[in-house]
Structure 1
Amino acid sequence: MDRTWSTDTYPVDQQLAYWADVVCQAFTPLAPTRAREHIDRSRTPVGLEGWVRSTRLGETNAAEIASCTQLLRHGPREVRQSPSEEVFVNLQLAGSCKGEQGDERLVIGPGQIGIYDTTAPYTLEFEEARDGQAWRVLSFRVPRTKLARIMPADSRIGGRGIDRQRGASRVAIDMMLSIWESRGHLTPAAQLALDDSFAQVLATALGAFDGPTIEDRGARDAALRAAATRYARSRIRSGRVLAEEAAGHVGISVRKLHQVFSNDGESFGSVVRQLRLEQVARELRAQPSANVTDLAHAWGFSDSSHMIRLFREHFGCTPTEYRSRTEWVSPTPST
């Protein structure tokens, strides 16, 4: 479900302050300003008109933003204030944006993407469209680790632009638009699948899989393992987790799925069992009175004796012994 903010209901002398709060929620810590030069080029001579529609799509936050000419700054203070490391993928829909990060200077027009890394300072100077209409941006806030583990280790992520002229770049742009337009009809599982797929497509558009930089496919395999493991974790409560379904979720063959896990000394099946056992252990800690047989059935084991045997192999003790360990006793809260 979308969350929506607008400055329309605020007096003009309060709009800039409210906009700063809205932008920080939809983006990352940013400081908006409207200097005389911005006002002179704007159809909004006083106050600050703008709105944001935002929603969560898997691990990614998506937002459509529209406003008037202004400068947004993510400086050293804002970098320190950022609660997490993110990458913003901004698809310009109307108007334009001059983006700066490090030594890179970008001029982004409609149908082009600017990418910015919140771990370093950057500025975004948005300009209204030539007909005086508000600038509009579709922005995906992607966890930085999601891209970093796919990209080659020495890759620069922020301060980069993408346009529709190249194959993978066009797919990335079309995918952003399609995901946003379909957001109200996507199940949680579909959101996770598209979230992971978009990261792969974006990395491809940025050249992650071009030339000799990916002769060692370890980073890509690690990303595939992580995506398949996340899918398995989301499905274990509902019953069997089939390799065919996990492979389809991350967009690879079953053979490739087994290969990426075996390259890491594991199997997909063993990882699923570990996830089930970890959930049993978590509930033993959270609910000391929980029935072991009930937990076995709840987390997909055929019977409790089978679960107990696997639990002992994994944790070195039975579920009952695990539950009785003094280290799982919650400390008394401090006052």
Structure 2
Amino acid sequence: MRNRMATGEVPENQRFEYWLDMICSIYVQLECDQPQESALFGEIEFSRIGGLDLTELRANVPRVRRTPLHVSRSGEDYCLVQLQQAGKGVVCQDGRIAVVSPGDFVLYDCTRPYELMFDDEEHHVMVLRLPRSHLEQHVTGLEELTATTVSGDGAAGHLLLSMVSTLRKQADRLHPASAQGVSDAITQMIAAGLRSLPQANSRRPSSLHAYHLTRIKAYVKERLRDPGLSVASVAQAAGLSPDHLARLFRGEPLPLSRLIWQWRLEACHRDLVDPRLASRSVSDIAFSWGFNEAAHFSRSFKEQYGLTPREWRQQAVTVQNPA
């Protein structure tokens, strides 16, 4: 079923808040700028088709942003695919800038910040929202394919636009039993367009993936003593969603939560045998590295090293000062 919402349905002094609430509920949490030289105008038609949402949007909002704060505060794990209908759009994400002309499409990932800009007084786009996991079944390395224009002159871009345009007109007539098949076909066509991009054929590991891992590990090391350090706090600081953080560490020996625990145990293991810290208690050392429960720390230490913290310390003293 197709639904329509428009700013003309509310008084002019309420339109900006109404529009912002509308796009946040339909897409993901966002912020946007008001037009400077004319009254705000916006209308959206939206339909649910199988596993994806299709929207058609006309508006004169010049800029839209999803900030690191929006990402860290929400668990929205979607990809958005923007098909430009009229006016030019600019999509910025992952250090790339894509200019999108009518007929082109572009991908952006809601698990990371992005910015959209429109240089015409009124723009017209169709937007597909689908779970990231659905698209990952058909194409890998999505983080290297965001903010990159897929030309409408290519076969995949042209076919996708044709399919979506037809679907928009026929959405109300689509039998529920057919909806998922149509949704799958559109997802596969999006993937085909993305696979046509030059970087999709690169065998190199994702530089963005490596960059995120490096900066996240550096952040954790700097704040290892902070008892409030957690997966959630790291995600917020990095401007990434917790789900994206989990995916980054999927190929690592330890998930992030376990890595924090492991590094803290290693730091305590080292400090307990440091002669300069001999006057400090076991609990004091444990708490200084972010642990907040002595008994739990002692059990974890023994599981890791085969000795309690006190036994490890005493063994080191015996070695350093033999009788």
Q: Same fold (TM over 0.5)?
A: yes
Task: Give the TM-score normalised by the residue count of structure 1.
Answer: 0.56
Task: Name 1:321's counterpart in structure 2.
Answer: none
Moved over 3 A (4+): 208-215
1:102 maps to a residue whose letter is D
1:29 maps to a residue whose letter is Q
CA deviation profile, 1:8-55 (whole Å, cap 9, x unmatched) = 132222111111000112211110112xxx524xxxx23x11111111
* 2:168 aligned with 1:171: no
Task: Name 2:172's counterpart in structure 1.
Answer: 184
2:147 maps to a residue whose letter is G
Where do residues 258-297 of structure 1 align in structure 2 (5 Å cutoff)? none
Task: Name 1:246's counterpart in structure 2.
Answer: none
Where do residues 87-98 of structure 1 align in structure 2 (5 Å cutoff)? 87-98=79-90
Q: Report the more deviating stretch, 156-165 or 20-29.
A: 156-165
Task: Name 2:114's counterpart in structure 1.
Answer: 122
Could you say which structure has the larger radius of gyration?
2
| CA distance in 2: counterparts of 1:209 and 1:7, whole angstroms | 37
CA contact (8 A) 1:6 1:50 kept: yes
Task: Name 2:31's counterpart in structure 1.
Answer: 31
Report the alpha carbon displacement of residue 145 of structure 1 after superposing the two structures with TM.
Answer: 0.4
| CA distance in 1: counterparts of 2:64 and 2:81, whole angstroms | 15
Paired residue secondary structure (1:162): coil
Report the alpha carbon displacement of residue 83 of structure 1 after superposing the two structures with TM.
Answer: 3.8
CA contact (8 A) 1:72 1:125 kept: yes
1:147 maps to a residue whose letter is L
Paired residue secondary structure (1:110): coil
Give the total of aligned pairs. Answer: 203
2:88 maps to a residue whose letter is S
Task: Name 1:64's counterpart in structure 2.
Answer: 56
* 2:140 aligned with 1:152: yes
CA contact (8 A) 1:152 1:213 kept: no
Task: Name 2:18's counterpart in structure 1.
Answer: 18
Where do residues 197-236 of structure 1 align in structure 2 (5 Å cutoff)? 197-207=185-195
CA contact (8 A) 1:20 1:32 kept: yes
Report the alpha carbon displacement of residue 154 of structure 1 after superposing the two structures with TM.
Answer: 6.9
Task: Name 1:3's counterpart in structure 2.
Answer: 3
| CA distance in 2: counterparts of 1:64 and 1:14, whole angstroms | 22
Between the two structures, name the one with larger relative contact order (CA 8 Å, sep ≥ 6).
Answer: 2
Alignment CA distance shift 1:174-1:154 (3 Å): closer
Alignment CA distance shift 1:166-1:20 (3 Å): same
Unmatched segments (≥5 aa) in structure 2: 204-323
| CA distance in 2: counterparts of 1:210 and 1:196, whole angstroms | 24
Alignment CA distance shift 1:69-1:213 (3 Å): closer
Alignment CA distance shift 1:31-1:63 (3 Å): same
Report the alpha carbon displacement of residue 187 of structure 1 after superposing the two structures with TM.
Answer: 0.9
Alignment CA distance shift 1:88-1:153 (3 Å): closer
Report the alpha carbon displacement of residue 121 of structure 1 after superposing the two structures with TM.
Answer: 0.4
Alignment CA distance shift 1:5-1:166 (3 Å): same
> Which of 170, 174, 182 is residue 194 of structure 1 equivalent to?
182
Where do residues 99-114 of structure 1 align in structure 2 (5 Å cutoff)? 99-114=91-106
Task: Name 1:135's counterpart in structure 2.
Answer: 123
Alignment CA distance shift 1:68-1:204 (3 Å): same
CA contact (8 A) 2:2 2:171 kept: no
Paired residue secondary structure (2:8): coil
Task: Give the TM-score normalised by the residue count of structure 2.
Answer: 0.58
CA deviation profile, 1:182-208 (whole Å, cap 9, x unmatched) = 211111121100111111111111117
CA contact (8 A) 1:30 1:78 kept: yes
Where do residues 37-76 of structure 1 align in structure 2 (5 Å cutoff)? 38-40=35-37, 45-46=38-39, 48-76=40-68
Unmatched segments (≥5 aa) in structure 1: 216-335
Report the alpha carbon displacement of residue 214 of structure 1 after superposing the two structures with TM.
Answer: 11
